[in-house]
Amino acid sequence: MGRHDTYDKLIFFCLSILLLHIPLKNADALACNWGTQASHPIPPNIVVKLLRDNGFNKVKLFEADPGALRALGKSGIQVMVGIPNDLLATMASTVTNAELWVQQNVSQYISKYGTDIRYVAVGNEPFLKTYKDRFVKSTYPALQNVQAALVKAGLGRQVKVTVPLNADVYESGDGLPSSGDFRSDIKTLMVSIVRFLADSVSPITFNIYPFLSLNADPNFPREYAFFPGSGGSGGGGAKPVVDGSISYTNVFDANFDTLVSALEKNGFDAEKVEIIVGEVGWPTDGDVNANTALAQRFNQGLLNRIVQGQGTPRRKTAPEVYVFSLVDEDAKSIDPGKFERHWGIFSYDGAVKYPLSLGNGRQLVPAKGVRYQAREWCVLSPQAAAGNGPNGATWTSSVEYACQLADCTSLGPGSSCAGLDSAANASYAFNMYFQKMDHRRGSCVFNNLGVVTKIDPSSGSCRFPIEIDTSRLRPRKNSGAGEGKWGTVVTAAMAVVWAVFY
């Protein structure tokens, strides 16, 4: 009897340990985008722990980043890995190229590292009007070839393909969701892609940005950008858009249901089509409409919907939603605006920007274990600030130089550092360059205008950051068969394609 008691206790202990590592039910649906365009990225293992600590068990990568894919191995986090637009022509040219990419960036990580890759995103918003049809001819054949490559690799059931598309691929002539249809110039192509994905039991993916709707149109009703019950008047302050028997109180629902109408007009059952919202969020800096208060309001309303499994008026089935994004990225392009580098719900270092409830009483928690560079800042020297710069040197050229090479998107109207005077602006620019250059000797000179200080110059909402110490992050040798060789394969393949077809 005693032996059975001991055995039962052992079983109970093991089950208790397992249960501690199972995410809470409501947090189980949380997904987000992990962008890696940062000059000093958080180490991947710390990011993975940050995801797990906050209940995110699904993540989307914009490219097959080796460090991220290794760190995600055996983490319990499902992964969508992306193929950048610049590789679409290569993927479209031959199935062999797609097979090579799948082997190097999907099969290898599944078999060797236990990475739970569930989707391959073929391109990212390839039909944006600003691309001027650059990827229109290559996207669909690339999608077909990648799907064929997954099937050949024995992953056709485990890994699905999709194409993340911007919401501008569908439109409504009168602004009502019920009038939605695919954009006329790509309608035939869109129907083919949706049908191919449906036949492959794969999802369609669309990105929806209420922030961009608000930011692009000065007449856009501000409250219409937010969800009901997300703080303030929560969408109730805007005049509802009445579409037949439906009253829309927020642009997310109206936008999504425009897609639903487009699907139905082209013969699809929108309730049966798997739909993923690949990106949706709100930035916190770089623009008058980009701040922590509005981001908190929007994202809390969004998370409430996700946790509650809420659909839209025309589609009761809730879509899978990937929050955009996890952390800020200081190396991203600033097109269409400075806010592009500030979409994270966490700062560049994994610090919590603002409180968010994740359901079941859980709150955001920061990253743990991040190492920083020395506690030093580069600022404009007191003599220069007093107008006594050596040899009459001015600040303008030095500030411009610093901001060409470092991230100064927190400066300017509407940004978190908009209240700084000209001297403090120069200090901010100097420090951003100093941090990006890892405090190297000579990186705080600026024609003898700069000086290193150990006193934090941050003021009010304007934070003078200290960068992450990435000195220990070195490329691993022999870290997986074929890793790092794909760029060479792509280059060679492209050369052959151009020689034969052009």
Q: Angle, nearest 10°, between helix axes 486-501 and 95-102? A: 170
Q: Are strands 320-323 and 450-453 parallel, antiparallel or unpaired?
A: unpaired
Is the Cα dihedral 388, 390, 393, 395 positive or negative?
negative
Tell which residue, 365, 231, 359, 241, has the closest CA to residue 301. Answer: 231
Q: Which of 63, 264, 279, 467 is catalytic?
A: 279
Catalytic site includes residue 376: no
> Residue 221, SS3?
coil
Phi, psi of 431 (to 5 degrees): -70, -40
The residue count of the chain comes to 502
CB 274 within 8 A of CB 203: yes
Distance, in Å, from the CA atom of 124 to the CA atom of 131, rounded to the nearest integer, reads 12
Query: Of the residues 63, 99, 125, 340, which is catalytic?
Result: 125
Sheet with 204-207, strands from edge to edge, namely 160-162, 116-122, 78-83, 56-61, 30-34, 320-323, 275-280, 204-207, 164-166
Whether 125 is a known active-site residue: answer yes
Say which amino acid occupies 157.
R
Specify whether the CB–CB gap between 92 and 142 falls below 8 A.
yes
How far is CA 325 from its chain centroid? 4
- Contact between 52 and 71 (Cβ < 8 Å): no
3-state secondary structure of 87: helix
Burial 407-441 (b: 16+ CB within 10 A, else e): bbbbbeeebbbeebeebbbbbbbbbbbbbbbebee
Exposed, middle or buried by CB within 10 Å (0-12, 13-18, 19+), for 332? middle
- Of residues 410, 408, 406, 420, the one with CA closest to residue 353: 410
Task: Report how far residue 334's alpha carbon sits from residue 341's, in angstroms, rounded to the nearest whole number.
Answer: 7
Which residues contact residue 259 at a Cβ distance below 8 angstroms, ignoring those fewer than 6 apart? 167, 170, 180, 206, 275
Report which residue type is found at 9.
K
Cα–Cα distance list, 385 to 392, 427, 498 (Å):
12, 9, 56
Rounded (5°) CA angle 356-358-361: 100
Instruction: Please list the active-site residues.
Output: 125, 279
